[in-house]
Chain A
Amino acid sequence: MVRSPESPVLTINGLVKDVGPLPTLDGKMLRVVSGLSLIAERGQVTALLGANGAGKTTTIECAQGLQRRTAGSISLLGQDPDTAGAGLRARVGVMLQDGGLPPSARPIPLLRHIAGMYQDPWPVDELIARLGIDSFSRTSVRRLSGGQKQRLALAAALVGNPEVLFLDEPSAGLDPQSRQMVFDLIAELRNSGMGIILTTHLMDDAQRLADYVYIIDAGRNVAEGTVAQLLRHELPAGDDGQHIRTLLFETEPGLDFTGVLPDGVDITEARAGSYAATGALTPADLAAITAWWAARGIMPSSLSLEARSLEDVFLDISGREIR
């Protein structure tokens, strides 16, 4: 990936965060982030991807100055968030996981109130129209749906027209339409030069939005790269970056595919008549299997080809056990 020549919007180096002492740990401290580092650039979406409890929210809250770090260094637009003042906060927009909006408030007066905290805010009417807030402008925050609340929280984060935008689980509770609207807006903001840092446990979000992904597990960096780089992760040596793909098809049960496909490709019959062939499939492999069917007069009732998803990479790296 091409690193921009400008200085990054956020640099985190060796971040450590202990919480506690916790009664559940016999009064000991719990280390929720241990030595995490990342860089987020201007004009890019940087995603922190990890399971629940991986330390994503703690990490960005340390960057926002909401939590005090135990050790390590953080530079947000060149300043330390722990000591910076209103000048830095005016350049940074934050959308919290729980929204952080007062339940009794109505959307438009709330946005106007927050806009008043800035010298030159984003015109509230524009934000309202862009995020479809006018359709629920008379409803109090407490009665909004999850998706409406998320859109309002995004508007509240953007009203200062920030240089850096933090989004904690931005697609939580969004219906498909709102999700498309929010994702389009994020892409536009990125193209306009904003540095966007988001956390997500959804591979699909990261795959669709992120220019650069940090996979976080148990408070540590476990992998990083562009989505394309991560998708090539852990392929056998000498395979020169071919994608792992899965060929799914349904036909008569109990077929023996021995010798049809090369050794690297696994064929499993998940349930009777439903097969999955996974590996670095080549066009020649597809020709081989369809020729094999043709020779035997087999016509699959369904057939699809899927690339290896970021989810597979994530599970390979962070392990498949439930936490």
Chain B
Amino acid sequence: MTRVSGSAPLGSAPLGSPARTAGGRAPAPLLRRILLQGQYETITMLRNGEQLILAIVLPLLAMVGLTVTPLLDGLGPSRINVAVPGILALCAMSTAFTGQGIATGFDRRYGVLRFLSTTPLGRTGLIAGKVLAVLAVLFLQVLVVTAVALMLGWQPNAAGWLPGLAILVLGAASFTALGLLVAGTVRPEATLAITNLLWILLGALGGIVIPAERLPALSQAVVHFLPSGALGQALRDAFLYGSVNAGAVLVLLLWTAIAGGAAIRWFKWN
């Protein structure tokens, strides 16, 4: 191929071999694209210091706080046994809602969503990659929280692990849908404010770490219908008693469906 004369002093390497055979320009397989994007987003999330504080440090502090104060006394066999399921629920909210929501909001602002959707990854692959990253970070959170909790004397009901982890994934799905809904409809600064504020409000009063019966009477009725309250209660029922709270699972399914549908309908890519 001919080189155009007078090429720049920078970048003196020869141009490779563009315009290979037409058959050469194929996308990588769908699964590989999604896994790559999931891996890339996971590393990005784990490299973000603020994200790590929200995902790991604050939940661990809350767990210690709940075991040294009498807040949860009388709700179960020990403070730590009542606290840990709520802390796992808080982890899901940190990563799926606040962390992922803020990241997506700024990706939208900087055109990253638009650029990636023009590559073979596409919009569907992009969302799938984000969901994968949320699950990967949540897995690491569960490992860290479980390790610290076991050291603090946590004795989970063995029959609770299977339903508990399934419910945790469902909770992550509903919070991911809510996070995407916020990130895709308002400015990133507003996403930052809304998701952080809701993290604090739902964390303190949403029935996630503090069960409904310890909340003011006014909020008790509402809490069961919030994704935070439903996830917290369902995880406590699983890890304390090994039982599945069908009502709470239904509430989570509804939130996932409604927020997911709304996000599909109203998400703006630019």
Contacts and interface: CB of A to CB of B under 8 A. Distances in A.
Contacts, number: 156
A118 B114 contact: no
Given A96-B111, A119-B24, A184 B6 contact: yes
B111 A160 contact: no
A187 B15 contact: no
Contacts of A86: 27, 30, 33, 120-122, 125
B44 A162 contact: no
Contacts of B36: 113, 116-117
Given A64-B118, A66-B117, A188-B4, A130 B28 contact: no
Interface in A69-89: 85-87, 89
Interface string B3-36: 1101111111111101110101111101011001
A193 B2 CA distance: 12
B27 A119 contact: yes
B4 A187 contact: yes
Contacts of B118: 64-66, 89, 92, 94, 96
Contact of A177 (B10, B111, B122): B10
Contacts of A102: 44, 107, 110, 112
B78 interface: no
A119 B28 contact: yes
A89 B27 contact: yes
A104 B4 contact: no
A200 interface: no
B33 A117 contact: yes
A114 B26 CA distance: 13
A244 B155 CA distance: 89
B25 A66 contact: no
A113 to B, nearest CB: 5
Interface string A154-184: 0010001111000000000000011011001
A177 B9 CA distance: 8
A132 B24 contact: no
B26 A90 contact: yes
Interface stretch (A120-128, A263-271, A273-281, A315-323): A120-128
A177 B116 CA distance: 28
Contacts of B116: 100
A185 interface: yes
Contacts of B20: 120, 161
> Could you say which of A102, A122, A127, A187 has the most chain B C-beta atoms within 10 Å of its C-beta?
A102
B4 A192 contact: no
A258 B25 CA distance: 65
B16 A122 contact: yes
A180 B8 CA distance: 6
B16 A123 contact: yes
22 contacts: A85-B122, A86-B33, A89-B27, A89-B122, A94-B118, A100-B114, A101-B110, A101-B115, A103-B106, A114-B119, A116-B28, A119-B26, A122-B18, A123-B16, A129-B11, A130-B13, A132-B11, A161-B18, A181-B11, A188-B4, A193-B19, A194-B18
Interface of B: 1-4, 6-16, 18-20, 22, 24-28, 30, 32-33, 36, 40, 44, 47-48, 106-107, 110-112, 114-122, 125, 269-270
Interface of A: 64-66, 85-87, 89-92, 94, 96, 98-105, 113-114, 116-120, 122-123, 126-127, 129-132, 135, 156, 160-163, 177-178, 180-181, 184-185, 187-189, 191-194
